[in-house]
Amino acid sequence: MPEQVIKRKSRGFICVNAHPEGCRQNVSRQIGAIASHTQSSRAGLKNVLVIGASTGYGLASRIAAAWGFGARTLGIFFERPPEGVKTASAGFYNSAAFHEFARRDNLFASSLNTDAFSDLAKKQAAEIIRSQLAPIDLVIYSLASPRRVHPRTGEVFNSVLKPVGQAFTNKTIDLDVGKVVQVTLEPASEKEIADTVAVMGGEDWEMWMEALLAEGLLAPGARTLAYSYIGPQVTWPIYRDGTIGQAKKDLDAASKRINAKLNAKLGGRAWVSVNKAVVTQASSAIPVVPLYLSLLPPALRARRLDEGTIEQMRRLFFDYLSEGATVPTDDAGRIRLDDREMRADVQSDITRLWPQVTTENLRDLSAYDDFQREFRSLFGFEVEGVDYEAAVETDVQL
Ligand code: NAD
């Protein structure tokens, strides 16, 4: 395929293509954020499996494991490869860049571009692990998916982002037109709640851990983490108390069961890590959250507390997962990386500004322009240092 100039194509707010060089630069910047903080003595992770490894928190976790610890990584993701003149998805280009930089730096990396919910993915992963990464000492579960086909019954579940019990009305940004509007979200049906739990709850995480345990592929003391979010009260009806929140409660319950099994068999541990809100493809799709994600960074920056996705994962891996580190948890046994986001002074800025925000003052009162830029950069667009007039090879392989 000849090289081509790639301009951003959008359907409403969503980008439908991706820029390989922009994605490559994003990965390179994240590697830099880890490599610049690495001490040669950092130990504790040798073989790491990341499920949901191509974008967002999963990609940042994989980078932290590889460049922070020199770990060998197996990444699982579900991304669109390039096809003819059509670009690949951003996660595909991110992963291709991950492999390129891993080769450069003599780090072992293997990837499976497949449906992580399937039994086949678990079987293929087990084969790769057995021959090249056994035993695994850390499993990161970082899937965000709208859909799951149940591997045993074939049933298809679609997740929804809706409140539970009653309708919810609040402000949000209509991202297609950049306006602040009122939105009313009708409550989910019982089936929608159950389906969202089936997609985003803990069943698949548990299936992964059981498969790895059964195959004897986990190291003594092996650990696993799945990511969650709680957030402030303004988002509770759509997040914590909504359909996705029900799925996250299911994840909490799964973490207890997995923890008990790992502990009994290997002296291992399972945790849910509650991470801060960051701009990812998954978080931007949640109503009300984009306005919150536009108000949060200025409140954190004013106090020098801001962290992006890679900085959160740097803190998690370096402070909690390094050899000998203690792992402080909240009363429910969860790791809390959202401590800075949830500080009373940070949240009081947001609570004060929330009622004042209108379409007219959105760009003055919030960092909406940054949110928009960051969202586009997830697809490799508007990334500093990239020449968007230059033709690039889009037919990149993993
Ligand atoms: P993301 O959309 O950036 O990443 C999702 C990943 O899942 C991608 O690698 C994608 O390829 C993979 N994936 C989706 N469906 C798949 C499938 N069927 N098979 C294999 N891979 C599949 O999402 P994210 O925001 O990084 O979210 C990851 C986790 O972090 C989620 O559990 C989310 O709830 C949690 N979290 C996110 C935030 C936030 O603000 N973004 C905050 C706290 C916790």
The pLDDT value recorded for residue 41 is 57
Mean predicted confidence (pLDDT) in 257-265: 98
Q: Beta strand 218-228 with 136-141: parallel, antiparallel or unpaired?
A: parallel
How would residue 11 be classed by pLDDT, with cut points 50, 70 and 90? confident
In this model, does residue 48 exceed pLDDT 60? Answer: yes
Mean predicted confidence (pLDDT) in 186-195: 98
The pLDDT value recorded for residue 359 is 97
Distance 142 CA to ligand 1 centre (A): 5
The pLDDT value recorded for residue 281 is 86
State if residue 229 touches ligand 1 by the CB under 6 angstroms criterion. Answer: yes
State if residue 227 touches ligand 1 by the CB under 6 angstroms criterion. Answer: yes
Distance 77 CA to ligand 1 centre (A): 9
Contact 237, 184 (CB under 8 A): no
Contact 391, 3 (CB under 8 A): yes
Q: Is 292 a catalytic residue?
A: no
Mean predicted confidence (pLDDT) in 239-249: 97
259's CB contacts (< 8 A; 6+ apart) are 269, 270, 271, 333
Task: Please give the Cα distance from 348 to 82 (Å, whole number).
Answer: 45
Domains belonging to the chain, first-starting first, are 10-160+190-286+304-338 (3.40.50.720)
The pLDDT value recorded for residue 38 is 74
Mean predicted confidence (pLDDT) in 215-222: 98
Contact 281, 378 (CB under 8 A): yes
Label each residue of 191-225 as H, E or C: HHHHHHHHHHCCHHHHHHHHHHHHCCCEEEEEEEE
Q: What would the pLDDT profile of 285-340 be if each residue is shown by its tens digit?
A: 888 999 999 999 999 999 999 999 999 999 999 999 999 999 999 999 999 999 99
The pLDDT value recorded for residue 285 is 85
Mean predicted confidence (pLDDT) in 253-260: 98
In this model, does residue 219 exceed pLDDT 80? Answer: yes
Q: What would the pLDDT profile of 105-145 be if each residue is shown by its tens digit?
A: 999 999 999 999 999 999 999 999 999 999 999 999 999 99
The pLDDT value recorded for residue 157 is 98
4's CB contacts (< 8 A; 6+ apart) are 85, 391, 392, 394
